[in-house]
Structure formats: C-alpha cells, structure tokens
Structure 1
C-alpha cells in the first residue's frame, strides 16, 4: 500500500494564523511601533468618515472664529471639492506652520480645561486629519494684517504648491476671514473612496448638516451650492429669526405649526429652549434637531422619549418635528466620548429628559382644549347630493373617477388606494380652482339679462384685443439702479405671505368699491385689498420687465396738451384748498419735461411721444389687461411733479410707482340690484338704472381680476411686508375643528 499523502498545512501547530493566500505565518510575531504616517491615517479615518464629517469640523471652526457669514461650495458631493469661506477673525501667519499638525489648538491647554469647554472644537485634529487624506489649502487674513496668506498642506506639514517653490505661506489679496479648500478627499484611501455610492447622496447629507447649523446659529448666515451651479441649494440670511430659518430649511408647512417652549432646573444644571410642532403637523419620520451646548449631536434616549410623548397626540404612524437646544453645566458633561463628537454624555440624563417631555406634553395640551363636531345644513335652493357607486358602467365618462381609469376601463391602483383612506375634516380643502364654488350653490341674486347693453360686447373685451408680434430681441438690463430696486423688493419679501399667494385659490370679489376679494390659502380664508396687491404687482412687473415692455398703440394719436388740460380741469374741480395755480405754466412745464425726455421714456418704458407733442403709445405690462383710459390724463399730469427726474434710481422708482398706480384696477360704485318683474307691487320707490358703460366695465374688470390678475399674482408676485396691511385672515378651518383626542 502506498503511503497516504498528508497536507503539510494540516500538520502545522494548532492556532497558527494564516495569510489571505493560505500560507502560514511563522509565529511568534514581534510587536513593533507603527510609523507616524500609518498612525495619522488611522486617526484620520476615525474622524473623517465622509465629506459631511469634514464639513462639520470646518463649520464648527468657522463659527468658533466669530463668523457671521459662511459660504460653502461643493463638487461631486464634496469628494472632488469642498470649500468653505468665512469672515471670522482669521489665523495669524506665525501659526500657519503648525496649523495642520495633530493636537494643535487654541482652545485647550490642560486636561482639566475639558470640564469647562465652551467651544465646538478642542482637540485640534480636524485639519490634521483632512491633510492626511486630501489636498488642503488655506487662505486667511486677520484684522491687523495688511494682506492675506495662503499655504498648502500635506500630511500635516507645509508643502510647496509647485516643485521648486517655497513651502512658506504666500502673500495674496483677500478679505478678512479664512477660506479652506479640500480637494480629492480620500485620494490615497481608494477603498473608502469607492465605498461612496453617489455624489447626490453625499450632497443631500451635507445639505441636512448645513440646515441644522443654519437653524441653530443665530446671527450667522449660511449659503451652500454646487460648484458651477448659479442657484443656491440652501441660503439663510444672518438676520433671520429661528422661525424664518426653520421655514427656509424645512418649509412653511412645519414653520406655521410650531410651538415655543422653555424649561430649566438649577438642581440638574440645564436650560432648554425648543420649537416643536403641534398636533396639527405630522410626518412619517421624526425630525429631531438636537444641540447640546451648541453642538449638533444624536441621542437615542431623547429621541425615543419625545416620540413616546407625541404618540398620545398624533395619529398612528405620525411623527413630529422638534428643534431642541440644551445648555448643560460643562462640569456635568463629557464631550470627548466620540471621535466625530456625534455623541456626548451628561449627568442626570433621565431626569432632564423627563422634565423636557413633561413640558412638551403640557404645551401640546394647551393647543387642543375642546372637541367639536361637524354638521351640515343644506343651503336654500341646493340639490340633495346623490351618492354614486365608485365604479360606473364601462364607457361612462361622466363619473367623478373617469379620469382615473386606464385605457381598459379599470380603475387605477392609486385611485382605489386613495379612496380607501379616511380623510381628516380639518384638512379638507378645495385644491382645484375649476371645482364648484360656494357662490354656485346660492340662488342667483342678479340673473343675466341679455337685453342689457354692453353685456355681449364687453363680456370678452380682452379677447378682442389684436396683438402684433415683433422679432425684437429682449434687452438685458445691466443698470445697477434697477438691480438695487429689485434687491430691495427681495429684501422686503414676507415668506409666509408669498406662500399664501403662490398657492391660493380665488374665491370671489367681495366689495368692488373697496376693492376687496376673498382668497383661500390652505385651510385659511383671507380678505385681500386687491388694489394694493395689484399696485405692488405692477411695480414688480415694471422692474422685472424693465426695457422690454409691449406697446399699446393709440389710434388715433392723442394730443398731449389736450390730455393734460383735461387732467388740469379735473384737478381744479376737486381742489378744496382754494390755491390759485397758474395751470397754463404747470401744463407747459409738464409737457416740456415729457417731450425733452421722450427718448428715455420710449427706450425704457415704451411711452412714445413725438417731438410735436403727440402721444403715440403707452406701455403694455400684462397681456390681455388694459388699464382704465379714464385715468390716463391724471397719470400723465402726475409724471411732472411726482416723478423725481434728478437721479437715475429715484427716477425709475417714482416713475414705475406712477405707472403701477395707473394700471391698478379702479374702484367701482356699488352695483344697483336689478328690478324684479313685480317690483311695482313691492316697492314704490323706483331705482335708477345703472349706467351701461359702468355695467360693461364692471363685467370686464371682474373677469380680468379673476382670470388675469390673481393667476398672475399666483405665478410671479413677491409678497412684501407692506402687503400685510392689505391681507386679513377671517377664518381658519383648523381653528374651527380643534381636536384634543386622537386615535
């Protein structure tokens, strides 16, 4: 018998370790000290796990430096480029040599200082770690320095930007503050670089982080965008309050449903300030913004306790939004328990959490204190609603769900799934402007009378306007004065009111004499001074379309002198101060001003006047809408004394305000009710018939307000703070249906 072949590896001593290729390693192995390069890369891998962790360290350093404005630029989710610029105190040139060495910091000197640490950073490992796994450059300038200094780093040391050049910091031009540029993150750690699935996912994580600090850091402005992208991914101004910051980052839906709370305890050594969502708001996942001593951290115990507290107030599966800032006595907290400082430990954790949850429970209980029930009364003249089956006969397109059917006639899955869900009455709103309105359910008070003059001719007056299109290229406005006026409108923007107009539903005109209309925004009903809103809208149109207005051609042309004389005669008739003006001289000055500036008026405002004093055309701001020509004489007369022609910016501002006033819908007298057929038997006093021209103008204007102006407000109006005076909330559905018990 031949001897059995035995694998040599099987005869090796038990417990011998092997290499990956299966070859045994000769034991025992000697212990040796790792090289400094390996130690630094291991430490860098613990601290900088992803681009978002690198940015977190850089943001905290910038805020520690007293910055009030942070600008962040990213490329490929921060892997290719991550740049942050601030306007803080800067770094001294003498400190730049050791800036990226490990454990170099200006915030900590002895271990005992950890017990009173009040800044974000303290270990001095962030820049050192980044320099070991990326190409790092720093440009900085202090207030006392006459120039900025720029340096490149690699492996914690200064390096030359190009071969043969000096590694010492180089003097450059720059503003006060620091700009840190991180390129090719993890270029020398290919395994980790390949582990990132997509740049968009990393960018989303970075936006989430920047949003957290943008909400918390009062007095600090944040902006974040992709490299080469003209639009900002996130922009929060420095002077924004906490509510406005939450609105910019998380939306108006949560910002409109926030409740502020605060609690503190000397016994447990903490203060808490928080903004939490009320019981009207819920999402699928809890959104917790937790800051402990101004450091963004995670805490599973706090998150679970908050969710359990809200479980009694929210529907099943609903979760809240909570922004919580805790100030804890530094002696009671340990900040050095996690490499990325994502977690902290503090004393009396359970007691502090219980106090916070009790305060949340108390605040939510104050919002809902009663339960109401919905009832419905049929209005006079309305029909009894008929319940139809959800599935109609095949081929019948008259059913409400006909639009949700597939080509085969079967209902789509999304429609059937939606119909199975129980709607909450306090969230039922009409979201389609084409659906039936309240006014259609009421008995008609003014039946249409086809015999009235002007109804047929003026019903579609705007549709009879003929337009002539030209091949003229749009003019790009580069005037700094116009850009400044546009910026002033943006600075005066009211976010919540802009959201109301952007998503509103037109209900109807309430008072034509006071120019009041009703609109619905979400679950709220507002009364709007549409005259004030239209004035602001046309002013903004004048700024955005500056130099690109259309023309309203006058045929026949008007004599400027005669039009101004009409305005002067009207002013004399309504003047009550008894002042004796030389109207001939006034009209002559106004006419001469307009003729002398006719080239500028034609180029910028499409207001064409001939050298002989003939009015040829007027500016067209909105297609389909023609202003009331009865206001033309007064508009032209006011261009003299009410427009400041001395300066460019003030001239454009005052002229566009006068133009907006000219375009604003006029106030109409109250409509006279039509006389019923049996009026002689009911009333002895006969009503005077209304002027047919006013009737025609009323119908034309009402159509324009509903079908032209309010859709235009919805599309492009920037609601400014001044419009708050012209918008009044009159009903809130959620306030009518307050529910304190939810299952």
Structure 2
C-alpha cells in the first residue's frame, strides 16, 4: 500500500548518481555542519569588501573614535585594514571576540526597540573570520601594551604553526587595528565574481565618503596600499560643507542649502544639505542616514527626485544629504542581513513632510539665483586696483538678494599665482604662427599681411565667417526620439571607451593654430600644456559621434539637379582597377588618405560595370531605410537626391562623393542592424573628414607657392582652414567625447610650461 502511494519526484529535481538506485528511499533531514552554517551566514552579511568595510567603520565609530584610517589593496580582496583611536578591546574579551552573536550592545530582545548604536548583533567580525584571515591589534587606555590576536573560523589561532593561539603583547597606540586579508579565499565562487579591483575600490571610497560627511566629529583617510597619496583625507575640525566640498567637489558645495524639520506627531527630526536649482547632475547623489545608520530607501529617493523635477531641467538630478532621526521604538533595524534597509512607522507621512519642507526651501532660493560673471572682456585694460584683484580671482559673483552680501570677501586679497601656472586664454593675443618666418613672393619681396593660424604671414586672415558660406533652410520637422537598442549600444560603447582627462582638455582648450596641413596637425593649449592634435582623426571621432547622437534627425544636402547614382559609381570604379587607390597624391584635390586595398580575387582589371550595378542595386533596394535613418535619398530610378548634413558651416569635398558611394557596397554590413549602422556611420564620417591639401611655403612645410595652385584648390583650402578653426574645434569643445584610441594616436603633448621653466632655470 505504501509503495502504491509513493509519488514521483517533482520535475527539475537534481539527483546525484548514487541516489538513482535508491530513488524511492525517503531522504532524512540532517543538521548542517557548523562550518557550513557559519559560511552561509557570512555570505549573507559580507557580500562584497565594501560590506566588510561598512561593518568595521561602524564598529570604530561606536568605540568613540575621532580618527579613522582605511588601507586597501586590490579592492579590499587582498587587504582591508581599519585603524582607529577608540576605546579598544579588553584582553579578556579577545577569545570570544569573533564568536557569533557576541556583543556589548545588546543584552535582551527588548533592547532592539531602543538600539542607538551602529552594530548590535555581533555577527560582523564572526562572519569575516569565516571567509578571511583576520588579525586584531588593540590597546585600551588602561592597558600597558597592545595585544594582537589572529582568528580563523571564529576561533583564536596561532600566528605561526607551533605557537600558542593566545593573544601576544605588542607595541601599539590606543585604539584598534583590524586587518582583513585574502577575503573570500575559501569561497572561490564568490571570489571569482569580482572582476575589477578598481570597481570595488570605488565602492569603498563611496562608502567612506558617506560616513565622512555624516560623522562630522571624526577624521577619515583612505588610500591604496603602496601609494603615498590618499583618496580621501578629512580633518576632524572640517564642517559638513567642507567635507562635501572635499569629497564631491566645489560645484556641489557652492550650491548647497541647509534644511531642518521635525514633527512630534510622527516622532522624527530631519536635517541635512541639498543643492539648489542652480545645480543638476545626470544621476541623483543621495546620502541617507536613518538614526545615523547609512541605509537605502527607494521610496524616499523617488519622492525627493519628484520634488526636484519642478525646479531642475529635464533629466536633471540633485545632490541630497539627509539625516533622519526617528523614535527608536518606531524603527525596526533588524530587517536586512547587512542592515542596508530599515522599516519605520508612518513612512508616507514622514516622507511627505520632508519633501514639502525641501520644496519650500527650493522655492525661496529660486527667487534669487546667483550667476558667475566675467569682470572684464578679454584684452580690456584694468581701471583700478580692484580690477587687479579680479585678475587674480578670475571671476566674481553677483551678490545674492537673500544674503545681502557678496559671496567674495572684498578685504581678502588672493595670492598671485606663479608665472609657471598662468594660462593664456585670450585668442586675440599673439598667435604662434606670427613667429614663423615670412614667405617670399615670386619677386623676392616679403608680404606683410596679417598672420593666420598656421598659414604664414602672406595669407589674409578671415574674420567672422567664410565668404562662400552655403545657404540653409529651416524646416518645422519634429525631432524623432531614437529607441533602437543597437544605436543605444553603440552610444554606450563610445562612453565606455572615453578618456576622461583628454575629454576635459579638449572641452577647455584654446585653439593655437594649424601646424601642418599635409599631415592635418593643429596645436591646442590645455592649461599650461601644448598639444599637437591630428584634426583629421579628431574630426572622424566627432563626426561618428554626431552620427550616433543625431541618428534619424540629420539635416539634408540636396542636389539640384539630382545626380546619376550609376554615373558616380562608374567614376569611382573606373579609377580603381585591380586595387582601390584613394588618389590624393595624384590629383592634388584630395580623396582622403592614400592607401591600397586589394580586391578579393583581384585581377589587373575587374568588371567595373558589374561592380557598379551590384552597389547601385544594394543602395536602391535599401533606399527607404537610408532615407528614414540617414536622410540619404535615392529615387527608384537611381537618382541621388540628397545626402546627410552632419555639420553646419562645413561642406564636404564633393570630389570624394563617388568613392564614398562605392565603398557603401563592400564596406557596409547590410545584414545585421547594429553592424550596419556602425559601418555606415564610419563611412559617412570618413567622407566628411577634411581632406589633405597641398600646403604653401611657410604654411606647414609644403614647397608650392599659392600662386601655382588653381583657384579651385585655393578656395577649398581656404574653406577647410576656416572650418577647422571656426567650426570643428569649437564643436569639439561642446560635444566631443575623446576616446582612448584618439589619445593613443591622435594627441601628443609637445610642451609643458612648468617643464620649460625647470629647463630654463638651469640656464
């Protein structure tokens, strides 16, 4: 009877090989091995090195520390050391220090309703000792020496084989130093999950920064092992605003407003600092402490973001530090293993009261905004001694109506910077090209015309705009939001490859001049450094990024009358027999870089007609997609009506158009969406990149007189020169994300003012 009532195991149940023979035998319930239990508990509490750090920092603050030092190696996986100057640990307590549920902060369960310390369960050190090698060095105020103990699996262990596990007397200062080595050494699955040590270190820096802001009476320092400089260094006397300034930057600290509110009905007090409507970032920076415990709350974050949405631009987010004190009897602190979350009563009412108070503060500040203004225009003369102070300060702030006083103390005279730190930012001052020797004309005379950037003194400078600026028409077409996953992935790839330092240099650079037209080199100044930039490569990066950001919303260059697509393809195909050669060197009019690409199964002569038909059929077949995404219009009969407009103010070389169209056939991956968009935009960017032109004497190392060039080439070079200085480099400042590939082969530092000063000081 019992056999007939046996049920089959549920589908998906894993069975070991040795259990298959006894499938009908009931499996008995057994108690887990204590070591397994402890490792499971440790894995719940210590999920990553930052969680171990959080527990140790909270223990140090609970011990009354006023100074806390953090040392990290390999993101905390190899070494995590916390040193404090707190009360220390008695020697008699060391044997049970790392046993589970041993604590000095809790005696009975009812104490949880009035807990006022960070830690209370006694699990942190126990959990760490089961998954790492733990060493504790401690000294109390009354002890004559420090004591060092080593732990493994919650028990005291000897420092070396053959020694006793008892704590050893050592020299040390008052306080406690806890050293965690080889975290997760016995949990290989968890250890392998951490791919980047730098990511884990950034999480540790973020956590230390949060406690450094909140614990205003404690000094914090954090650094990597083996490095002399610290990532965070906060003094004990630093105010909350100073702590925010050092950790999150002056741009945040300069726009902070203080707020404080309370309500006895709900038993809470809230205080903190938040940015006003003058500041916004892409992602909310939210520091939340409930009863001095760093926690997370999606409900509070969402309510505050909704409050700020009425004051900030679209997609703008604030910085908010909130310290919330609630009656301990209304809070349940024991709802999460890592104490990352807490539950409290009347959550909706408390959140509403806080948001209404912050809203009133923002509305009051919004009536009097502060704007940074420039004291004098570039090149202006200083009229008074106060103007000299403004030169040293750089900018001054308009006084705020709410404060009634200027944000800059007029009695304080800033120290003058050293000359080797001065930065020239006025583009109207003397250019580097004005120092080049003048070029001799046909009769041997020297021209005395004004100098331009990289062209030599014999060429007239263009001022406001190019004389042959094309005409543009504006349409009322509504921009289309791009929701294609492939385009978003391509944009994300650019952001991930960004070189932050180079992007900042380009965003704040001063254009110096074109140095070499043949090699497409320009000089720019970033701070006190001079860089040589391959503007051809920089233009390619910029135009490719424009193609991604403006995807589906390009402007249009229309041809009137339309061009015959097959005729254009035939021009390019006939010029390339056997090998595809970009004939820049031969024609002198430029079609891009000279390079040879051997055709598959190339013969000395290939069938140009067949190639033209295949490429034309491909483009005509996909004309609807090209028109929708790229404003690239082709008629069913094979007429080219328009091409995309990427940059306003610059016209690409139409002589490169046949070659560009021909490359769209074999060089664009038409079968896959993401690869298609990527390769097409790269070909489009290559088409738009300013071509190499033959320079004249004194203008980049060329050996031709400008009079020897035909009018078409002279006009084209004039347009390219103007576009590089007045279109492309200003656009780089506004929206170019400099990538690592551009840093490796497109930018070279050629001078450093501080280095030059050191060189000439020896002379």
Q: Is the 8 A contact 2:292 2:324 kept in 1?
A: yes
CA apart distance, 1:171? 0.2
What's the counterpart of residue 46 of structure 2?
48
What's the counterpart of residue 327 of structure 1?
325
What's the counterpart of residue 354 of structure 2?
356
Structure 1 position 225 matched with structure 2 position 219: no
Q: Cα deviations across residues 321-376 of structure 1 (Å, max 9, x unaligned)?
A: 000001110000000000000000001000000000000100000012279xxxxx
Q: Cα deviations across residues 209-235 of structure 1 (Å, max 9, x unaligned)?
A: 000000000110000000000100111
What's the counterpart of residue 438 of structure 1?
377
Q: Cα deviations across residues 157-211 of structure 1 (Å, max 9, x unaligned)?
A: 0000111101000000000000000000000000000000110000000000000
Measure the CA separation in 2 of the matches of 1:40 and 1:323: 36
Give secondary structure in 1 for the equivalent of 2:269: strand
Q: Cα deviations across residues 473-528 of structure 1 (Å, max 9, x unaligned)?
A: xxxxxxxxxxxxxxxxxxxxxxxxxxxxxxxxxx7634259964445646737999
CA apart distance, 1:111? 0.1
What's the counterpart of residue 316 of structure 1?
314
Which residues in structure 2 correspond to 1:672-687 (within 5 Å)? none
Measure the CA separation in 1 of the matches of 2:129 and 2:241: 38
Q: Is the 8 A contact 1:90 1:178 kept in 2?
A: yes
What's the counterpart of residue 238 of structure 2?
240
Structure 1 position 147 matched with structure 2 position 145: yes
Give secondary structure in 2 for the equivalent of 1:238: coil
What's the counterpart of residue 100 of structure 1?
98
Q: Is the 8 A contact 1:65 1:88 kept in 2?
A: yes
What's the counterpart of residue 283 of structure 1?
281
Q: Is the 8 A contact 1:508 1:518 kept in 2?
A: no
What's the counterpart of residue 15 of structure 2?
19
Give secondary structure in 2 for the equivalent of 1:131: helix
Which residues in structure 2 correspond to 1:338-487 (within 5 Å)? 338-369=336-367, 438=377
Which residues in structure 2 correspond to 1:511-550 (within 5 Å)? 511=384, 516-518=389-391, 521=394, 524=397, 533-534=414-415
> How large is the Cα RMSD of the aligned pairs?
3.1
Q: Which runs of 5+ in 1 are unaligned?
A: 1-10, 372-425, 441-506, 541-710, 717-743
Measure the CA separation in 1 of the matches of 2:18 and 2:113: 51
Which residues in structure 2 correspond to 1:546-695 (within 5 Å)? none
Measure the CA separation in 2 of the matches of 1:97 and 1:110: 22
Measure the CA separation in 1 of the matches of 2:9 and 2:43: 35
What's the counterpart of residue 509 of structure 1?
382
Q: Is the 8 A contact 1:140 1:148 kept in 2?
A: yes
What's the counterpart of residue 199 of structure 2?
201
Which of 1 and 2 has higher RCO (CA within 8 Å, sep 6+)? 1
Q: Tell me the number of residue pairs that the alignment of Structure 1 and Structure 2 aligns.
A: 409
Measure the CA separation in 2 of the matches of 1:528 and 1:370: 20
Q: 1:77 to 1:241 in 2, by over 3 A?
A: same
Q: Is the 8 A contact 2:332 2:342 kept in 1?
A: yes
Q: Is the 8 A contact 1:510 1:518 kept in 2?
A: no
CA apart distance, 1:19? 2.7
What's the counterpart of residue 257 of structure 2?
259
Give secondary structure in 1 for the equivalent of 2:360: helix
What's the counterpart of residue 133 of structure 2?
135
Q: 1:357 to 1:151 in 2, by over 3 A?
A: same
Q: Is the 8 A contact 1:517 1:527 kept in 2?
A: no
What's the counterpart of residue 90 of structure 1?
88
Measure the CA separation in 2 of the matches of 1:106 and 1:270: 27
Measure the CA separation in 2 of the matches of 1:331 and 1:220: 27
What's the counterpart of residue 158 of structure 1?
156
Give secondary structure in 1 for the equivalent of 2:159: coil
Give secondary structure in 2 for the equivalent of 1:360: helix
Q: Is the 8 A contact 2:222 2:231 kept in 1?
A: yes
CA apart distance, 1:28? 1.6
Q: Cα deviations across residues 39-76 of structure 1 (Å, max 9, x unaligned)?
A: 10000000000000000000000000000000000000
Structure 1 position 188 matched with structure 2 position 183: no
Measure the CA separation in 1 of the matches of 2:252 and 2:158: 50
Q: Which runs of 5+ in 2 are unaligned?
A: 1-5, 399-406, 422-752, 759-763
Give secondary structure in 2 for the equivalent of 1:29: coil
Measure the CA separation in 2 of the matches of 1:280 and 1:187: 48
Give secondary structure in 2 for the equivalent of 1:438: coil
Q: 1:126 to 1:532 in 2, by over 3 A?
A: same
Measure the CA separation in 1 of the matches of 2:408 and 2:101: 62
Q: Is the 8 A contact 2:389 2:413 kept in 1?
A: no
Q: 1:112 to 1:508 in 2, by over 3 A?
A: farther
Give secondary structure in 1 for the equivalent of 2:382: strand
Q: 1:532 to 1:164 in 2, by over 3 A?
A: same
Q: 1:97 to 1:534 in 2, by over 3 A?
A: closer
Q: Is the 8 A contact 1:310 1:320 kept in 2?
A: yes
Measure the CA separation in 2 of the matches of 1:512 and 1:354: 52
Q: 1:77 to 1:529 in 2, by over 3 A?
A: same
Q: Is the 8 A contact 1:332 1:347 kept in 2?
A: yes
Q: Is the 8 A contact 1:257 1:280 kept in 2?
A: yes
